[in-house]
């Protein structure tokens, strides 16, 4: 290794830092990155005279983004040194004992969330500011976006310090991540590599309404204000008392030795796939807060804490074929058909390749030996090709120029990475996938109507549209191979049962582009009926928290299509009855009243005011109409205020509103 090699390694790591921290689109796995970083540390240890101040080992990587105000941290947000080795855990424990000059200290072990570190500041119990790690000294003020996280208390419980700084990890639940990627794939957009990058990409959005729709969550795990707690174990208790979302008791523990640390790590690793969020290891901290100062920190990491990361769950297998799936929006997705292998206890025989660009980037060929990776419930993916094992007859793959389902020409829409079938209305695969989605558990939940049965019914001519499901009769199925009387009865009962469906599930089942479960819930709560949703304009939809321009445009386009309206009418005519969930009977004047909010409020954000209205049985609308009961007006109100005066709707000042509360 010479100095030129060292400089090339620096550039390589900086390039990966850019993809990871700035674009939130890593092109290598965390494990591969960590190995490069370890190599850099080893070189710099051997050649300290080579080290440059801009080396990633000398400072926290800068992930500050344009469009956000930068804020100085009250105390630096350092990153943790990490290891995959038991030996290095033992070295860490021994080093702490040596520096403290005694070996009876305790450590606190807890989950290492694979998310985004955030610093939260509260003043007199009220959320003042939320700031990303950034470069460790200052970060992005993302307070408006953090406020959209439902589990985060805006006001704390009990006796709290005048000024309180806490640290949290923002994450995207696995279920939400899978749905977001499915929507992006169907829309022809580039998918996120993992939940951590999806969360990072979401927090970078400049429109808090779009962040709200991403349904982020967080855990608060430490108190930074001096004197509030004496130990990390006590911090977990205190945070819970204040009302913060914290780890459950099984997700942190006090330990005394490296053996106990590894025992905790093993227990967590065994349970990690049952968790609804991604973790990539455990964090080990010196439990006694007052002793940490004696250990100090390096330029980027505290010496009193470290992360033990789990080895990536990967396997190697052979690509037998690359097939193409046609989704419900017409997107063609290449899929690697694999020699079956076991990863994370699951048998893997297929892995998505997402799109043609990804196939080219990885240079995957039929016959290649590939590394596949699976974490939690995330769909298996091809990580890399083992070029040393590439056979001489490995075949390059090309995206077909015609749809493998209907033979129609494929199209590449400018600005999209996806290739689509041009025959959206007539392609059999598109129709089948729409029906499968409609009947799925998260949509209409029609039990006993699985993927294979939908395909069979379609090809038999029994179900060619969504509404055809409700036209099925027992005699249509009798005599079909594999269907006995009991299975026919079960299917018919499931179809009948699905007619009683919540409005938001029905909206979701319709498969409106960009409308996931969260957006469907917003639409159902806001408008209460399909008819009212269909009456909205892009402007009125965009006024609703959680709905951005792209989503609003898609909703309006869907309800402007005659075939969609006809399908909905047929479904309703066949007995499907979408209903709003029953609300609790509340003894408050707001019950059943519709509010519109305009202008800047002083005592609350508009989101907080909306929550207070909904808690008391009221509704919040994005547009003023004759059905509006009150318009709450803050400073600098817009056109809604003028329209309310013209219609003679009661205007509330902030003080009037507080009196009514």
Give the torsion through C-alpha atoms of 595, 597, 601, 606, to 10 deg. 90
Give the DSSP per-residue string, 513-552.
TT--HHHHHHHHHHHSSHHHHHT--HHHHHTSTT--HHHH
Residue 25 annotated among the catalytic residues of the structure? no
d(CA 111, CA 309): 10
Sign of CA dihedral 45, 46, 50, 56: negative
**Candidate list 38, 112, 138, 464, residue with the active-site label:** 112
Give the C-alpha separation, 401 to 230, whole Å: 66
What span, in angstroms and rounded, lies between the C-alpha atoms of 254 and 110?
Answer: 9
Rounded (10°) CA dihedral 467, 473, 474, 475: -130
Task: Provide the terminal-to-terminal Cα distance of the chain, rounded to the nearest Å.
Answer: 71
How many Cβ atoms from other residues are within 10 Å of residue 550's Cβ?
13
CA distance 478 to 482: 10
Contact 641, 633 (CB under 8 A): yes
Measured from the Cβ of residue 89, the count of other Cβ atoms closer than 10 Å reads 20
Q: Are 262 and 86 in contact (CB under 8 A)?
A: yes
| CA atoms of 427 and 268, how far apart (whole Å) | 47
Alpha-carbon dihedral sign for residues 542, 544, 550, 554: negative
- Nearest-angstrom CA–CA distance, 33 and 21: 13
Strand blocks (E) in 70-226: 70-72, 82-83, 107-113, 116-123, 126-132, 138-140, 163-171, 217-223
Q: How many helices (H) and strands (E) in the chain?
A: 24, 24
Which residues have a Cβ under 8 Å from the Cβ of 417 and sit 6 or more positions away? 188, 189, 190, 355, 356, 357
d(CA 366, CA 384): 14
Radius of gyration of the chain (CA): 28
Residue-level length of the chain: 661
**Which two tokens mark 107?**
């450590």
User: How many CB atoms within 10 Å of residue 402?
Assistant: 13
Which run of H or of E encompasses 351?
Answer: strand 346-352
The CA distance from 224 to 541, in Å, is: 41
Catalytic residue IDs = 112
């Amino acid at each position: 290794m010479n100095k030129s090699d060292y400089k090339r390694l620096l550039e390589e790591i900086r390039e990966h830092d850019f993809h990871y921290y700035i674009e939130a689109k890593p092109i290598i796995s965390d494990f591969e990155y960590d190995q490069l970083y370890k190599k850099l540390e080893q070189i710099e240890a051997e050649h300290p005279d080579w080290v440059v101040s801009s080396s990633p080992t000398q400072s926290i990587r800068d992930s500050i983004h344009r469009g956000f105000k930068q804020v100085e941290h009250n105390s630096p947000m350092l990153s943790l040194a990490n290891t995959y080795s038991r030996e290095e855990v033992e070295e860490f424990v021994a080093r702490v004992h040596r520096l403290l000059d005694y070996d009876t200290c305790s450590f606190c072990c807890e989950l290492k969330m694979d998310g985004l570190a955030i610093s939260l500041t509260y003043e007199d119990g009220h959320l003042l500011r939320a700031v990303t790690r950034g470069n460790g000294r200052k970060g992005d003020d993302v307070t408006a976006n953090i406020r959209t996280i439902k589990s985060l208390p805006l006001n704390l419980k009990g006796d709290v310090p005048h000024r309180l700084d806490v640290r949290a990890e923002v994450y995207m639940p696995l279920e939400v991540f899978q749905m977001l990627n499915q929507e992006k794939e169907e829309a022809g957009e580039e998918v996120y590599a993992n939940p951590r990058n999806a969360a990072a990409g979401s927090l970078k959005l400049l429109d808090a309404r779009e962040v709200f729709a991403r349904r982020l969550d967080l855990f608060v795990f430490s108190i930074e204000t001096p004197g509030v707690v004496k130990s990390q174990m006590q911090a977990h208790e205190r945070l819970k008392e204040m009302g913060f979302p914290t780890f459950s008791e099984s997700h942190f523990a006090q330990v005394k030795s490296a053996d106990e640390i590894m025992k905790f790590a093993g227990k967590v690793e065994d349970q990690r796939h049952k968790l609804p969020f991604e973790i990539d290891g455990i964090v080990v901290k010196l439990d006694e807060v007052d002793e940490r100062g004696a250990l100090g920190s390096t330029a980027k990491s505290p010496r009193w804490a470290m992360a033990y990361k789990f080895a990536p769950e990967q396997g190697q297998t052979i690509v037998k074929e690359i097939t193409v799936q046609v989704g419900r929006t017409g997107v063609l997705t290449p899929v690697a058909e694999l020699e079956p292998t076991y990863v994370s206890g699951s048998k893997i025989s297929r892995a998505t390749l997402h799109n043609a660009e990804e196939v080219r980037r990885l240079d995957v060929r039929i016959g290649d030996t590939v590394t596949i990776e699976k974490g939690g419930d995330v769909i298996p993916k091809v990580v890399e090709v083992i070029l040393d094992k590439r056979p001489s007859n490995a075949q390059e793959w090309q995206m077909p120029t015609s749809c493998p389902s209907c033979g129609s020409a494929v199209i590449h829409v400018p600005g999209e990475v996806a290739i689509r079938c041009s025959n959206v209305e007539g392609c059999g695969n598109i129709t089948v996938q729409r029906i499968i989605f409609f009947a799925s558990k998260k949509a209409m939940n029609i039990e006993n109507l699985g993927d294979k049965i939908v395909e069979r019914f379609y090809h038999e001519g029994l179900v060619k549209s969504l509404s055809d499901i409700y036209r099925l009769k027992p005699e249509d199925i009798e005599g079909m191979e594999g269907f006995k009387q009991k299975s026919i009865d079960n299917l018919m009962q499931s179809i009948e049962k699905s007619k009683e469906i919540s409005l938001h599930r029905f909206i979701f089942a319709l498969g409106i582009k960009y409308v996931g479960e969260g957006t469907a819930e917003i639409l159902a709560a806001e408008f209460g009926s399909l008819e009212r949703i269909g009456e909205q304009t892009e402007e009125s939809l965009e006024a609703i928290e959680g709905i951005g321009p792209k989503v609003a445009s898609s909703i309006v386009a869907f309800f402007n299509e005659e075939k969609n309206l006809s399908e909905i009418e047929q479904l309703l005519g066949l007995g499907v009855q979408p209903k709003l969930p029953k609300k609790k009977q509340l003894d408050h004047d707001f019950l059943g009243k519709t509010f519109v909010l305009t202008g800047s409020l002083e005592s609350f954000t508009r989101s907080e005011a909306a929550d207070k209205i909904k808690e008391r049985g009221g509704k919040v609308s994005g547009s003023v109409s004759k059905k509006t009961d009150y318009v709450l007006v803050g400073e600098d109100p817009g056109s809604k205020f003028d329209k309310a005066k013209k219609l003679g709707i009661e205007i509330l000042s902030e003080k009037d509103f507080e009196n009514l509360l």
